[in-house]
């Protein structure tokens, strides 16, 4: 089931397209990572989805609804923290949430405390917001998004400015929400953190969607391997299979191979190929992480 689908979504400010013909799909159960540099269009895209700004072109489908009336009802199933959460600094954490429960017409009197419990702020509810740490305020913003038990949550740079402990706590919270059936759309430029929670990714660059990729596809793209250039790839493949017992390899060109085993013993691979009469002109280890992959992808994209 699709939770969100955008088609050719576009938003311009003057002559600049902050979001430029973006079409993407977020499926139920995803932790969907939205990757891009500051200014790439991530926040504007989230604001469009949340109906905080109107698109110049394109369409949004939310929980299968495409009409304004249908989407209005669907947005009651959505929570979001975009940029800084709107919190009253002179109220306590609990009072902030109780205020928003009244504003949103949430009848459950225990909803505010439940949200605090969910983000590990149960013992902090009576503290004034201005006295909370940045990490606590970020979690309180997430508690605000959780009011009303939403099925879909958007988080804009949720780990921005957090210390290492705060980042770990936020990561654990996102995993816990996912385990409880909540679909998440999370924007970040801290790719090492996003790679530990996301199930799918979209890369946005200068407002345009460059690519989407699943965690499994990313793992395959970035898997560590021995990269070999040989004079006879077919003969080398035969030796790799019969003499080394390797099944996890592939040919990636007329004379190039990727071998995903024996990474701890490349000399043995070289020796067996040499003994079999295969000339190896180069051999080295390759493999990217999410940051490497991102840099490689946007490096080939013009502005």
pLDDT under 50: residue ranges of the chain: none
**pLDDT score for 300:** 62
Q: Domain spans of the chain?
A: 2-219, 224-286
Those residues whose C-beta lies under 8 Å from the C-beta of residue 82, and which sit 6 or more positions away, are: 43, 46, 47, 50, 52, 154, 156
Each residue's pLDDT tens digit, 159-213: 887 888 888 888 898 999 999 999 999 998 778 878 889 999 999 999 999 999 9
- What CA–CA distance (Å, rounded) separates 5 from 75? 14
Q: Measure the CA angle with vertex 109, ends 106 and 114; round to 5°.
A: 90
What is the CATH class of 224-286? alpha beta
What token pair was written down for 198? Answer: 């996301």
**pLDDT score for 136:** 87
**pLDDT score for 301:** 61
Nearest to 174 by CA among 209, 148, 146, 201: 146
- What CA–CA distance (Å, rounded) separates 204 from 32? 13
60 three-state secondary structure:
strand
**pLDDT score for 34:** 94
> What global pTM score does this model have?
0.80
Length of the chain: 303
Q: Which fold has domain 2-219?
A: Rossmann fold (3.40.50)
């Amino acid at each position: 089931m699709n939770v969100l689908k955008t088609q050719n979504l576009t938003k311009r400010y003057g002559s600049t397209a902050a979001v430029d013909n973006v079409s993407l799909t977020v499926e139920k159960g995803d932790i969907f990572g939205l990757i891009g540099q500051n200014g790439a269009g991530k926040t504007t895209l989230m604001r469009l989805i949340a109906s905080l700004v109107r698109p110049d072109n394109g369409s949004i489908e939310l929980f299968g609804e495409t009409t304004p009336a249908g989407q209005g009802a669907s947005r009651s199933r959505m929570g979001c923290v975009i940029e800084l959460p709107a919190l009253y600094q002179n109220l306590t954490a609990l009072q902030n949430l109780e205020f928003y429960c009244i504003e949103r017409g949430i009848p459950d009197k225990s909803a505010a405390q439940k949200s605090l419990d969910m983000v590990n702020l149960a013992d902090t509810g009576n503290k004034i917001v201005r006295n909370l740490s940045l990490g606590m305020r970020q979690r309180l913003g997430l508690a605000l998004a959780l009011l009303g038990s939403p099925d879909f949550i958007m988080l804009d740079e949720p780990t921005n400015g957090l210390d290492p402990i705060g980042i770990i706590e936020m990561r654990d919270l996102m995993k816990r929400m996912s385990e409880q059936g909540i679909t998440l759309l999370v924007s970040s430029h801290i790719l090492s953190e996003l790679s530990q929670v996301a199930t799918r990714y979209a890369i946005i660059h200068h407002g345009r969607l460059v690519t989407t990729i699943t965690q499994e596809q990313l793992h395959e793209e970035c898997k560590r391997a021995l990269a070999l250039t040989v004079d006879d790839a077919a003969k080398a493949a035969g030796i790799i299979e019969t003499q080394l017992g390797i099944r996890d390899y592939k040919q990636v060109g007329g004379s190039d191979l990727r071998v995903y085993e024996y990474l701890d013993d490349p000399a043995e691979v070289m020796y067996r190929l040499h003994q079999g009469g295969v000339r190896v002109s180069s051999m080295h280890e390759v493999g990217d992480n999410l940051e490497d992959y991102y840099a490689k992808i946007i490096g080939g994209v013009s502005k």
